[in-house]
Amino acid sequence: MKKRSISTYIIALLALSSLLALPTRLSAQNIKILKDGEKEEKPFFQGIMVGVDVFGFLNQALGSDARTTEVSIEANLQNRFLPIVEIGYGGMDMTDDETDIHFKTSAPFFRVGMNYNVFYQKPDLPGCLTVGLRYGFSSFKYDVQSPDLVDPNWGHTQVPVDYTDVKSNVGWLEAVVGMRANIYKNFYLGLNVRYRSRLSMTKNENSEPYYIPGYGRGKSSNFGITYNLIYKLPF
């Protein structure tokens, strides 16, 4: 388990360093020379970006029990407000090394929210720094199995644990800080750091989900990372 956590941090550091290493040049093609007193009219709608998270693929390739695939669609309004929808599929199939408890789940999830471009007044920059909020939700089922446990009330009585298709609905809020850089023509790389806080969860009498699709470990709050390859649609 520790090795998998270390691999996650390594991927995050590599992702951040790759973004920081990208050139911060201005694109001369986007600079317009205006006459004295003339103001450039900027359109309200400035395009749509479609992204896919590659962090989930890399994390799984390095041995993580969690697997996540997600895509995003983001609109650009005045280079300032960036409403976004994220849809994905997440799951986990793992056995704890210490307790031998086995947990399994897989289900779709979605997030909807808004990013705000901090550098909206500098449209010629080959990237942006954003802050944003998301609301996320997943409805899923999970299985939990473990070796026989000793009942605390009856001493040596063995109590088997085997719960299958336990239903749960979870909603959460995310605070997101992200950076994005143009790498080639309409292609960008983006890195998002997410702080997630659980808002609601279906209560089950005998268990709670160890992992929540789209959210991560089933704690009241956690941190997560997405590393995206993004394409700006040419219209």
Who's near 24: CB < 8 A, 6+ residues apart? 125, 126, 127
Residues of the chain with pLDDT > 90, as a percent, come to 65
Where on the phi/psi map is residue 37: left (φ > 0), alpha (ψ -120 to 50), or beta? left
pLDDT of residue 38: 60
Who's near 58: CB < 8 A, 6+ residues apart? 11, 227
Domains of the chain: 2-22+43-121+128-232 (2.40.160)
Residues of the chain with pLDDT > 70, as a percent, come to 78
In the structure encoding, which two tokens stand for residue 145, read together? 């199995």
**Residue 107: band (very low, low, confident or very high) from pLDDT cuts 50, 70, 90:** very high
Which amino acid belongs to residue 201? M
Residues 36-63 have a mean pLDDT of 85
pLDDT of residue 203: 84
Residue 31 has pLDDT above 80, yes or no: no
Residues 206-218 have a mean pLDDT of 94
CA distance 121 to 32: 15
**Residue 2: band (very low, low, confident or very high) from pLDDT cuts 50, 70, 90:** very low
**Residue 69: band (very low, low, confident or very high) from pLDDT cuts 50, 70, 90:** very high
Residues 173-200 have a mean pLDDT of 97
Among 11-25, 159-173, 191-205, name the one with the lowest average pLDDT. 11-25
Residues 26-34 have a mean pLDDT of 43
pLDDT of residue 11: 54
pLDDT of residue 37: 55
pLDDT of residue 70: 97
Residues 197-225 have a mean pLDDT of 94
**Residue 186: band (very low, low, confident or very high) from pLDDT cuts 50, 70, 90:** very high
pLDDT of residue 160: 72
pLDDT of residue 30: 43
pLDDT of residue 152: 66
Residue 19: closest CA among 203, 172, 170, 225: 225
The chain-wide mean pLDDT, for the chain, equals 85
pLDDT of residue 42: 81
pTM for the full predicted model: 0.81
Better-predicted residue by pLDDT, 21 or 124: 124
